[in-house]
Amino acid sequence: MEQYKDIRSGLLDYIYGRIVPEYAGFDPAHREDHAITVIDQAMRLMDGLVPWRSSQSAETAALWMEDIDREVLFAAAACHDLGLVNGRDRHHLDSGQIIRNDSRLTEWFSAGQIETIAQAAEDHRASGKSDPRSIYGKIVAEADRVIDGETIIRRTIQFGFTHYPSLEREAHIKRAVEHLREKYGRGGYLKLWIPWSDNAARLNALQEIIADDSAVYRETVRIYDLLA
């Protein structure tokens, strides 16, 4: 893990040895690979901040001049979905409480830092009504988006398999398409937060598919049949 050489070894071992394995018991769209993806994406977004600042006007860049603690962001990204152990409805809030109650985190973080990590987890949910309270919440929320059309459709279908197992094929496909429109379509509730992320371009490409009834149906059927 050369890219994380600046993360203290004890914290690194704890996250990958204890936290990430917790995701093995969650639904197929939120397994260990999801946790690792969000960690990696969050750290890349942080690394992209410096060159982005240099290319912007002083006024625009000043909006994103808050110092970011790399280890705080690392832990927030890793722990953001731990509340799924209690189900999905309140998983973001449950994640925050799990983080606050994790005594091991006090080995590396102050009480204030742990609260920042907890709030970032609470604020990451795409359907949240309020803006994230810190840059950490915004980066974790953006990293959690993982705007890739095929991945999003696959995860949507997998969610249906887990939570609506009695649905027939066409009902699964209909549910998936409706969710895609509600969340990712133009006017959907998904929000993006990080101006130097490439998620906006990827979301626009996905929205082109979603806006075309035939295209979104064909793509959802294709991926459903690969998974079924």
Please check whether residues 111 and 8 belong to one and the same domain.
yes
Please check whether residues 141 and 154 belong to one and the same domain.
no
Please check whether residues 23 and 55 belong to one and the same domain.
yes
CA–CA separation, 42 vs 26, rounded Å? 21
For residues 27-51, give the mean pLDDT.
Answer: 91
Please check whether residues 109 and 204 belong to one and the same domain.
no
How many structural domains are present in the chain? Answer: 2
Torsional class of 167: left (φ above 0), alpha (ψ -120 to 50), beta (otherwise) = beta
Is residue 43 within 8 Å of residue 74, measured between CB atoms? yes
Is residue 106 within 8 Å of residue 11, measured between CB atoms? no
pLDDT for the residue numbered 55: 87
Which of 145, 162, 178 marks a domain boundary? 145
Please check whether residues 38 and 104 belong to one and the same domain.
yes
**What does R_g of the chain's alpha carbons equal in angstroms?**
18
Please check whether residues 155 and 71 belong to one and the same domain.
no
Domain range holding 70?
Answer: 2-145
Is residue 81 within 8 Å of residue 27, measured between CB atoms? no
Which of 97, 112, 145 marks a domain boundary? 145
pLDDT for the residue numbered 18: 97
Average pLDDT, the chain: 92
Please check whether residues 40 and 127 belong to one and the same domain.
yes
pLDDT (tens digit per residue) in 2-20: 678 889 999 999 999 999 9
- CA dist list (Å): 156 to 28, 139, 177: 10, 22, 9
Which of 145, 162, 184 marks a domain boundary? 145
Q: What SS3 class is residue 182?
A: helix
- Please report, rounded to a whole number, the percentage of residues in the chain having pLDDT higher than 90: 74
Please check whether residues 48 and 123 belong to one and the same domain.
yes
pLDDT level of residue 186 (50, 70, 90 thresholds):
very high
Residue 189: DSSP 8-state: S
Residue 115 has pLDDT above 90, yes or no: yes
Q: Which residue has the tokens 């398409």?
A: 177
Please check whether residues 113 and 208 belong to one and the same domain.
no
Q: What SS3 class is residue 100?
A: helix
Residues in the chain: 228
CA–CA separation, 161 vs 4, rounded Å? 35
Residue 137 has pLDDT above 70, yes or no: yes
Residue 62 has pLDDT above 90, yes or no: no
For residues 63-72, give the mean pLDDT.
Answer: 84
pLDDT for the residue numbered 29: 82
pLDDT for the residue numbered 1: 63
pLDDT for the residue numbered 119: 97
Query: The CATH number of the domain where 112 resides is what?
Result: 1.10.3210.10
Please check whether residues 101 and 20 belong to one and the same domain.
yes
Please check whether residues 40 and 88 belong to one and the same domain.
yes
pLDDT level of residue 66 (50, 70, 90 thresholds):
confident
Least confident of 104-113, 127-136, 215-224: 127-136
For residues 37-64, give the mean pLDDT.
Answer: 86
Instruction: Count CA atoms closer than 13 A to 46's CA, side-chain side.
Output: 25
CA–CA separation, 54 vs 66, rounded Å? 15
Please check whether residues 22 and 70 belong to one and the same domain.
yes
Of 27 and 98, more confident: 98
For residues 139-164, give the mean pLDDT.
Answer: 92
CA–CA separation, 204 vs 184, rounded Å? 9
CA–CA separation, 19 vs 146, rounded Å? 20
